[in-house]
Structure 1
Amino acid sequence: MENSDCSQGGKPTDSAGERQPYLWGKLHKGPAGEVEAWLPLADHCTDVAFVFLALCRTNAAHRALSQAIGHAPTPVHLERLAALAFLHDIGKCNHGFQAKARREPRDTAGHVHEISALLYDPDLQKRLLDSLGFDEIASWFDDAEGTLGMLLASISHHGKPIKLDHTETNRYRRYWLPRDGIDPLEDLTNLTLTVRQAFPQAFTGDASPLSPTPELQHRFAGLVMLADWIGSHEGFFPFRHGPECRAAFAQRAASEAITTIGLNSQPFRSRLDPRAGFTDLFPGFSPTALQAALMDPPNVPVMIAESDTGSGKTEAALACFFQLFARGEVDSLYFALPTRVAARELYERILLFVKEVFRDNAPPVLLAVPGYAKVDGEQALPSEDNLWQDDETLRRRERAWAAERPKRFLAAPIAVGTVDQALMATMQVNHAHLRAVCLERSLLVVDEVHASDTYMRGLLRALLDHHTRSGARALLLSATLSADAREAFLTPQSAVPVVPSFSEAIQSPYPALTGSGSAPTPIGGVGTRQKAVQLEPAPYLAEPKALQPRVAEALRAGARVLVVLNTVARAIDFLRAAEADPVVARTLFCVNNQTCPHHGRFARADRLILDREVSRVFGKGSPDGALLLVGTQTLEQSLDIDADWLITDLCPMDVLLQRIGRLHRHTRRRPPGFDTPTCTVLMPAEPSLEAWFDAKGRLHGLAGLGRVYPDLRIAQLTIERIGAGCTIRIPDDNRELIETTVHPERLARFTGPPWDGHQQQLLGTATAHGLAARTALMPWHQPFGPELRFGDFDERLATRLGLEDRRLSLDPPITSPFGQTLHELPVPGWMAGDTDATAPEAAPDATRDVVTFRYGGRDYRYTRFGLELDR
């Protein structure tokens, strides 16, 4: 094949008579609209097709394709799929798209939806099929309609299935008719000559027809999306490359590109010894029973490791990943956490592990959190628009390819992020197919799965189902998983989980490792750490400040006190009261000499330094001395912090156990009177919550209960289990504590008023959330065609109901109370209401300590306490 740079002409001219590139695929324009550089369409399609082929030859993609096909694809099968991937941009042949090269473009068009005219106009459809040689392509498959689905999957490379609409035929038809000596469908015929030269085996080789099932179509679509994104990267595929045949160049460049990005895992695997033991991975540490078990993971799609907080589940998961990666059973790792704070906290630990284990052959390690993304520990990422002069900077930029867009996060060889990024791989959001094929390479580790509500559980079940259907593996970590949740995650989505009875559930071993299709296996014994915790009820839920004298006494004794409350308002109120006591005020947690709480309503730049300071003063190796930290749920998950005394609002037992995980977490010298781990739980004055309901079973204002934690049956059972106070033994009592407060048989005892009304509300909410989850999920069973369409889901909203936060741009930026430059401020969705504006109504009024602004008809203030409504 001759280089198409030379063979493609420049037929059209603009109004000034300047020749324009003809049948271009990519181009750059100068400030006056002139074309400065361009890449022929045939070259771009060649680049993408060879990237596709290189991806299909990697371990994980080959395995996933084999699952979709029903057997391993032969080289001829792969070339045929690559030839279809080549055709992804056939829509660029139309006049409207090619007109964009003119200095003054007019009557322009896109290149995806315009395909509709070719499919619905009878004359154009016949010419399209003839140009493509569709009859020959259809012989590659055992179903002609499915073959068209494969072609549409290729064309849908911009992130969503192409919307085919017969009503748009007349609108787009003119772009495909011959005009001024140019016939777009003749150009398409010429393109097919290029693909025949690049992939001759596809057309001359012998292979059995494939079945173009929806599963294959969707997986193929994701690989084409990924290939198109890589094949469009000018660092790997420049616009000009001398006289060399583009196919030969593209084949070599594709291999180099996926290796540099980290999609080819073999170079990173080549120096690993799969016989390495736990102490080789973590020198100086003997494995716990859980860690030893996961050094030889069972060969099952889904594993669930249940063990108490602080028992080394993270290291166990990393040991599991090492073994699977070294043996070639997975190509990457995605470690999914419930919150951004937890992801940022864990990232440094995993980065250190990778550096120690892989040494100078380490793959890129990504912090996959939008706005906080890091690669190899470095925050700043080079922009694609910059020109880089030195090889080292270029190498760093290429390693950071997956970090440049959130949609590409899952392409990283090793990534730590939120569970939301993983869930979007199975939802109707842009580039979901790309996310899915990237995630299928990974051992998917999901931490803190106990936190899932009905909606999240539905999404996670769907994700696990699709993920494992590709042959991929998943590991769920939990300290507080209930039997019904465990069975749900281990049961295919198409089946109904069988929930053990209450008596069976509380007899189930803990800690335990459970695999798909098997019963929980006990993993206690050597290395299992025991902790006896005193649960102390205090009737101050309505007035937490009544506990302040005891807090002051504890601080005088030198204790580190952690207060976790259910709402931001309660945390701020408690902190303000604490500041009024001179003794307490001197011990308050502060950042840059500003006392403050810890919660999720801080600007991004401020949140980073708050998190860093919490880890410094409460983390492992932190100094002794009196300290009071007040916060919300942001302190309860995945943070490696340690307190001498924990004060917490009443909350569900599984959440309470998570909070207790921050109590006496590390081995250290305790101040007098705090040798016994004590958790003081703020309770209502009356032992029954019934007084807080109205006649219809609605709850009125009780420390976030009913809103943050809607099921008051669980809260009531938690009150009863704590009683007048008790000692719990962790981990021995974990199973009984959870099942006693959440098992369906225990919840069924709540009958009669006001519980009947409350249960009706819960049922309505659960039904709505379940329906919302099903509606938002990707219809993997649906083939590409007119019926396959995405709903209008916003990626900010899709994975969590009710968390549609707004991020308000600040221009000019302001200085925060902590001295940070703020370019944006967050506003929670429940505060913003129906407003979708992206900026305040007027420039904020900012001083050193207070920022005030108006947004959506409401007044706000941002201070060292975070964001509040300015009432």
Structure 2
Amino acid sequence: VCREIWEKCLHESARRSIAGGLQLSDTDAARWISFCAGLHDIGKASPDFQGNSEAAKQKLSYAGFTFNRKPDTYHGTATACILQDLFQNSLDRNLAKKISVTVGGHHGIFPNSKELKDTRTNLGDGIWNDARVELYKCMIDLCGTRDVPVPKGSPGNAFFMVLAGLTSVADWIASNEYFFPYEVKHEIKDHLSHAEVQARQALDKLGWTGWQPATSSADTIKQLFPFIADVRPLQQEAASLIKELKNQPGLVIIEAPMGEGKTEAAIYLADSWVVNLKQKGYYFALPTMATSDQMFGRVEKYLEKRYPGGRVNFMLLHGHAALSAEFATLKDKFETNNLDADRKDPSYDNASPGVVASEWFTSRKRGLLAPFGVGTIDQALLAVLQTRHVFVRLFGLAHKTVIIDEVHAYDAYMSTLLERLLEWLAALGSSVVLLSATLPRERKNALLKAYQNGLTGQDKSIPDEVTGTKYPRISWITRDEYNAKTIETSGDSKKELQLQWVNGRLPEGETEFELGQALREALADGGCAAVICNTVDRAQQVFHALKPYFPERDAGDGYPELDLLHARYLYGDRKKREERTLLRFGKPGAKVKCGDGKEWEVKRPRHAVLVATQIIEQSLDLDFDLMVTEIAPVDFLLQRAGRLHRHKRDRPDKLKSPTLWICQLEIKDGVPGFGGGTEAVYDFHILLRSWLAVKSYVGQKTIMVPGDVEDLIEDVYGDRKCPEELHVEVKRKWEESKRKSEVEIEYEQSEAGTRWIKRPMFSGQLGDIASEPREEDDPSIHQAHQALTRLTGLTVNVLCLFGNDAQPYLVSTRSRLLDNKVQPDKELAKELLMHSVTVSRKGIVEKIIEAGQKVPQAWREEPLLRHHYILFFDNENQCNFDKYTLCLDKERGLVIKNSL
């Protein structure tokens, strides 16, 4: 299997890198790598492992083999010890040890020095050694390495991660009894010839084959995206830049306003790298599931046009990917929905080309192995967290391009992990494109340095002419150079943004809701507005308060004039609302693929208000005539404002100018109060500096986009002293919050440091690179022992059912009784997930975990449901849990109230 992966699936850049690390030709490297992988289970030729089977023990004892009394040696560690001894006469000692440990770690963890030392005494000697030598010689003959030059050189840790990933994946495939049933052939060469045929068939049926990079790169953006009427200056620069990169992997950072075509520019760069560097595809990472779902459709259309004659394996990677109708369609096209370790149905049609999704790659840890993927940033960050088989994810990302969108949106914890990821991607020969509307200079500098460290192993400073280039800009770094260039913006992105304060205080009793009145007047002649809140609770409250001002059930497009969108709906309802939002406020003429499998054209309402959380500020292609927002960090305010007047269309006279209303704050002794909800989401110091930065514009002057953007960003994130002219209490709060902010950043960076793997230039033992593997997704385990991609506090996924433990029902009418003693099939599991919701409010999350009301044991056998909890609701859609009352409201989603 390993040899077939090398020849049929590994692309030229990966093979060249591996062969170079061993100082061998491509052909000789293929033999050696296959030889090493073929020896991965030689540790099973030991008394401890064979002693696990009484039948094997009896046969071997009769042949003269002796056994220990208590088998307790792990066979992977035994493999590492045995191979070190077998390699010692042919390979450099250090290279022999590292290859041995790499191959011995094929079950997920590299053995460390202590484990190797302890295992050596339990390997058996004499006849056991003789047997292992015979197996070793047999593998030499089978792989043809007897007359092949001996590997030399000192490859870096990235090489061994790729070798470990390749060995593990080959082992997974070769262990599939459907493709490789147990059978006895007395001649070992008969085994080999038969296994070669089986391996080719397995790789074909599992979706590893069928795609090759295009033979030539596109000369212009329009060749890849013919729908672009006018190529933007940014996109033209991307096309020019690929020539300057001189066929080298590199990091490109694109900073430009919303609507400048950053996505197409990034895909163009990735496409060019795939062709020029013979890479194996790309992964597009986004901040949320919603943005991933939308991008999935866009990339699918590109792949269909780019590779019309190939079978392109394309993954959607996030926690609820199984519920995507688009993704399900691709899996149906592949016709292997039930293909896994125990699959019995061999029906398969490999004749029809197109974009497909192989079920095999949807399993956890395997998704990044597919040539193309779209998903959350979390999937990429897991590649640098200490988890079992971390090297499989690194293998999946090696020699690919990784595109990461909305880079400014990540906190100190995620940003620290991102820097480690950039180091490893550089060392793995992968290219990276980072996209952001705004990025502080210090942050950009850290990202460039991280990639440079991975390329060279040297911690050099980035020249001022790169970090100081005027915004908007493209910055890049390769092994040979780093540079940056200011880019022009198109007329569509140039805006004069007006800011106004608005009273967003919720009404008490029968009092007027001033925001509702102001919105009703502003939209009297039509228009669409968005109200962005910082928490779900606030969004639900604002929506409820606005109901009397916008009561119509039909705003001209079949949907109500007041709508709500946030993350605390049942997933099925949330998905429908996301689709509805794109249909109502998306790009003119665009089509949205919905859950019914059909594409519907965007139909804008006559007038409407969407109340939402931050879910709409990132990557979603939405356009509003007016926007209301709570105060937020300045980069997020600008990002939200990017959904104002985004597309060309006629607008009501009152709303001709892009205007952002910011909810007023309560001021005491000159110090603003941001509210507990907002301060729980955002850093107080950044909020304070953002408020100071924008208040001088409110009602006085416009923010020029892009002209004023960088100054605003540096005012908030730059290393600047507190202005002397501020009120004494504001200055005190500035200094106090700054100290707290610095402590919090240090804490988050420290937390990242306890979880990430060592740097690619780490000089210690391989077993110490990821010495403390953690659980990926089990909320019942303390966070200190979880491999977290986000440090956002506790969250739980909850199935909202009816009835009780003994008689669980899917719906409130109790017409669907669920069998809690039988593992749900995939379709029922997906239906149950549609009735799930993610809860993140700290108090109730802790109580849910303490109560331990997980899904029934039989349901945990289904991976989609394994770590879910259950809450039971009554016929009134309510659940009283501890001191909380939860209500499933059709309009507002899951409403949580403290009942005490």
TM-score range relative to shorter protein: 0.7 to 0.9
Quote the Cα distance in structure 1 between the aligned partners of 2:855 and 2:897. 14
Which residue of 318, 321, 343 corresponds with 1:369? 318
Structure 1 residue 336, shift from structure 2 partner: 0.4
Query: Which residue in the other structure is 1:34 paired with?
Result: none
Q: CA deviation at 1:870?
A: 3.4
| Structure 1 residue 61 corresponds to structure 2 residue 36 | no
* Alignment counterpart, residue 854 of structure 2, candidates 824, 828, 839: 839
Distance 1:154 1:117, change over 3 A: closer
Name 2:421's counterpart in structure 1. 463
Task: Note the C-alpha offset of 1:287.
Answer: 1.8
1:861 aligned residue: 887
Aligned to 1:705: 679
Query: What residue identity is the alignment partner of 2:742?
Result: L
Partner of residue 288 from structure 2, selected from 339, 343, 350? 339
> Does the Cα contact within 8 Å between 2:76 and 2:106 map onto a contact in 1?
no
Q: Which moved more, 1:274-283 or 1:525-534?
A: 525-534
Give 1:93 shift.
Answer: 3.7
Residues 157, 225 of structure 1: 8 Å contact kept: yes
Secondary structure (helix, strand or coil) at the match of 2:321 reads: coil
CA distance in 2, matches of 1:709, 1:584: 38
Distance 2:130 2:583 in 1: 67
- Deviation, structure 1 residue 405: 1.1
Within the candidate set 267, 277, 289, 2:220 is matched to 277
In structure 1, the partner of 2:498 is: 534
- Paired position in structure 2 for 1:603: 570
1:647 and 1:361 map into 2 onto residues whose CA distance is: 47
CA contact under 8 A between 1:337 and 1:343: conserved in structure 2? yes
SS of match in other structure, 1:305: strand
1:231-277 residue CA offsets vs partner (Å, 9 max, x unmatched): 33455544459887232344455456556656568x4325x432543
SS in 1 for 2:678: coil
8 Å CA contact 2:77–2:115 kept in 1: the answer is yes
The 5-angstrom pairing of residues 705-744 of structure 1 reads 705=679, 707-710=681-684, 711-744=686-719
Q: Which residue of 1 aligns with 2:620?
A: 639
**Residues 841-869 of structure 1: CA deviation (Å, up to 9, x unaligned):** 997443576242637x7553333323343
Match of 2:442 in 1: 484
- Equivalent residue letter for 1:246: H
Q: State the partner residue of 2:74.
A: 113
Secondary structure of the structure 2 residue equivalent to 1:815: coil
Amino acid at match of 2:687: L
Shift of 1:411: 0.9
1-side partners of 2:155 and 2:417: how far apart?
Answer: 26
Tell me how far 1:497 sits from its aligned partner.
Answer: 7.7
Deviation at 1:173, TM superposition (A): 7.1
Letter in 1 for 2:13: A
Q: Label 1:581 to 1:277 Cα distance change in 2 as closer, same or farther (>3 A).
A: closer
Change beyond 3 A, Cα 1:215–1:55:
farther
Find the residue that maps to 1:148 and give its secondary structure.
helix
Alignment equivalent of 1:561, drawn from 515, 523, 529: 529
Deviation, structure 1 residue 790: 2.9
Higher mean C-alpha deviation, range 146-155 or range 578-587: 578-587
- Aligned pairs (5 A) from 1:372-391: 372-373=321-322, 375=327, 377-378=329-330, 381-384=337-340, 385-391=342-348
1:675-698 Cα distance to aligned partner (Å, 9 max, x none): 222111113143986254xxxxxx
Q: Name which of structure 1's ranges 768-777 and 474-483 shifts more when overlaid on structure 2.
A: 768-777
3-state SS in 1 of match to 2:720: helix
Q: What displacement does 1:136 show?
A: 5.3
Could you say what secondary structure the match of 1:741 adopts? helix
Question: Secondary structure at 2:732's aligned position in 1?
Answer: coil
Verify: 1:311 aligned to 2:260, yes or no. yes
Residue 293 of structure 1: aligned partner: 237
Matched with 1:798 is 788
Give the Cα–Cα distance (whole angstroms) in 2 for the partners of residues 813 and 495 of structure 1.
Answer: 60
Tell me if structure 1 keeps the 8 A contact 2:330–2:356: no
Counterparts of 1:409-808 in structure 2, within 5 Å, are: 409-491=367-449, 492-493=452-453, 508-515=470-477, 517-524=481-488, 529-540=493-504, 545-581=513-549, 583=551, 597-621=564-588, 622-624=602-604, 625-686=606-667, 690=671, 692=673, 701-705=675-679, 707-710=681-684, 711-745=686-720, 752-779=731-758, 780=760, 781=762, 783-784=764-765, 787=768, 789-796=770-777, 797-808=787-798
Residue identity over aligned pairs, in percent, reads: 23
Partner of 1:6: none
**Does the 8 Å CA contact 1:217/1:783 hold for their aligned counterparts?**
no
Q: Give the CA deviation at 1:590.
A: 9.6
* CA spacing shift, 1:231–1:61, aligned 2, 3 Å: farther
Distance 1:197 1:369 in 2: 44
Question: Aligned with 1:639: secondary structure?
Answer: coil
Stretch moving more, 726-735 or 739-748 = 739-748
User: 1:290 offset after TM fit, Å?
Assistant: 1.5
The 1-side partners of 2:69 and 2:320 are apart by 34
Shift of the 232–116 alpha-carbon distance from structure 1 to 2, 3 Å rule, reads closer
Q: Deviations over 1:274-312 (max 9, x none)?
A: 254322222242321111222342425100111111211
CA distance in 2, matches of 1:450, 1:738: 11
In structure 2, relative to structure 1, the CA distance for the partners of 1:186 and 1:115 (3 Å cut) is farther
Alignment correspondent of 1:89 = 41
Which is worse superposed, 232-241 or 826-835? 232-241
Aligned partner of residue 367 in structure 1, secondary structure: strand
Q: Is the 8 A contact 2:534 2:681 kept in 1?
A: no
Tell me whether 395-404 or 431-440 shows the greater mean CA deviation.
395-404
Contact 1:425/1:436 (8 A) holds in 2: yes
| Aligned residues: CA RMSD | 4.1
Task: Quote how far apart the aligned CAs of 1:829 are.
Answer: 6.5
Aligned-pair CA distance for 1:652 = 1.1
Matches for 1:140-289 after TM superposition, within 5 Å? 140-142=90-92, 144-162=93-111, 165=114, 187-201=131-145, 203-207=146-150, 209-211=152-154, 213-234=156-177, 236-240=179-183, 245-254=190-199, 258=203, 267-270=211-214, 272-285=215-228, 286-289=230-233
CA offsets 1:814-849 (integer angstroms, 9 cap, x no match): 2389x9754544222634137263628997443576
| Equivalent residue, structure 2, for 1:23 | none
Cα shift readout 1:520-554 (whole Å, capped 9, x = no counterpart): 20221667642332222224367794301122234
Amino acid at match of 1:742: Y
* C-alpha contact (below 8 Å) 2:313/2:358 kept by paired residues: yes
| 1:366 Cα deviation from its structure 2 partner | 1.3
Whole-angstrom CA distance in 1 between matches of 2:401 and 2:458: 24
TM-score by length of 2: 0.78
**What's the CA shift string for 1:666-719, capped at 9, x where partnerless?**
222223412222111113143986254xxxxxxx73551353344334333334
Trace 1:799-818 onto structure 2 (pairs within 5 A): 799-809=789-799, 812=808, 814-815=810-811
Q: Distance in 2 between matches of 1:116 and 1:419?
A: 33
Determine the C-alpha separation between the residues in 2 that align with 1:816 and 1:288: 52
Equivalent in the alignment of 2:877:
850
Distance 1:360 1:648, change over 3 A: same
For 1:589 and 1:100, the matched residues in 2 are separated by 68
Secondary structure of residue in 2 paired with 1:778: coil
State the Cα distance separating 1:737 from its structure 2 match. Answer: 2.6
TM score, norm. by length of structure 1: 0.81
User: Kindly tell me: are residues 774 and 641 of structure 1, through their superposed partners in 2, closer, same or farther at Cα, counting changes over 3 Å?
Assistant: same
| Aligned-residue offset at 1:513 | 4.4
Unmatched 5+ residue regions in structure 1? 1-46, 120-127, 693-699
Aligned-partner residue type, residue 459 of structure 1: L
Equivalent pair of 1:541/1:684 in contact (CA under 8 Å) = no
> Aligned pair in 2 of structure 1 residues 111, 322: CA closer, same or farther (>3 Å)?
farther
Q: What is the CA-CA distance between 1:638 and the residue it aligns to?
A: 0.7
How many residues end up aligned between the 2 structures? 792
